């Protein structure tokens, strides 16, 4: 039995964003419980040359909606990247999930050989087939930024673990 491009993308991205939302909830609750300024977490980074938590969430969102848009051929919604609070980051995640849920399987299934061009600042345009784009760029990049957001919060004392990252297996 094979899985479809839709099954390998949209539900996986939604689940990752839902789990990221849960992790952010725990970060906000930790800040409140410890009476810490939440912006300490929002602007935290693992190393000076890495992006802060807010940017990690924004890039995870951008990667998810970009993958769905490129594979389906529909316009990629543009978000302003101005989120600076936990509630604003949660709104962005919710908006991204709503967009992903609007995409139907027939819009993505069959995109394995579709030509996908990914513009980058550092390497110029990178050309992929739809399947290579999903599995070699979009999903790895998405999970890199979700994982880094998790690591920033964990590094800063938020009590989260592997099961928070995995989420529920009851889907």
CA-based nearest residue to 156, from 25, 20, 38: 38
Stretch (H or E) spanning 120: strand 115-120
Please write the tens of the pLDDT for every residue from 121-138.
Answer: 898 999 999 999 999 999
The first and second tokens of residue 134, run together, are: 């999903």
Give, in words, the CATH class of 5-166.
mainly alpha
Q: What is the pTM of this model?
A: 0.95
111-114 contacts at long range (C-beta below 8 A, 24 or more positions apart): 111/5, 111/71, 111/72, 112/5, 114/71, 114/73
3-state secondary structure of 112: coil
170: pLDDT strictly greater than 80:
no
Percentage above 70 pLDDT, the chain: 98
User: Alpha helix (H) ranges present in the chain?
Assistant: 5-33, 39-42, 53-72, 86-101, 105-108, 130-132, 139-155, 162-166
Contact in structure between 133 and 16 (CB atoms under 8 Å) = no
Please write the tens of the pLDDT for every residue from 41-94.
Answer: 999 999 999 999 999 999 999 999 999 999 999 999 999 999 999 999 999 999
């Amino acid at each position: 039995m094979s899985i479809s491009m839709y099954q390998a993308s949209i539900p996986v991205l939604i689940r990752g964003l839902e789990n990221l939302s849960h992790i952010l909830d725990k970060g906000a609750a930790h800040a409140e419980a410890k009476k810490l300024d939440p912006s300490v977490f929002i602007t935290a980074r693992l190393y000076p040359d890495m992006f802060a938590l807010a940017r990690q969430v924004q890039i995870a969102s951008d990667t998810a909606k970009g993958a769905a848009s490129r594979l389906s051929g529909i316009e990629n919604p543009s978000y302003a990247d101005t989120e600076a609070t936990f509630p604003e980051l949660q709104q962005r995640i919710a908006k991204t999930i709503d967009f992903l849920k609007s995409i139907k399987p027939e819009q993505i299934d069959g995109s394995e050989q579709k030509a996908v061009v990914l513009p980058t600042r550092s390497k110029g345009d990178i050309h992929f087939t739809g399947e290579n784009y999903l599995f070699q760029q979009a999903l790895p990049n998405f999970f890199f930024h979700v994982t880094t957001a998790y690591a920033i919060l964990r590094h800063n004392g938020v009590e989260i673990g592997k099961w928070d990252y995995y989420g529920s297996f009851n889907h």
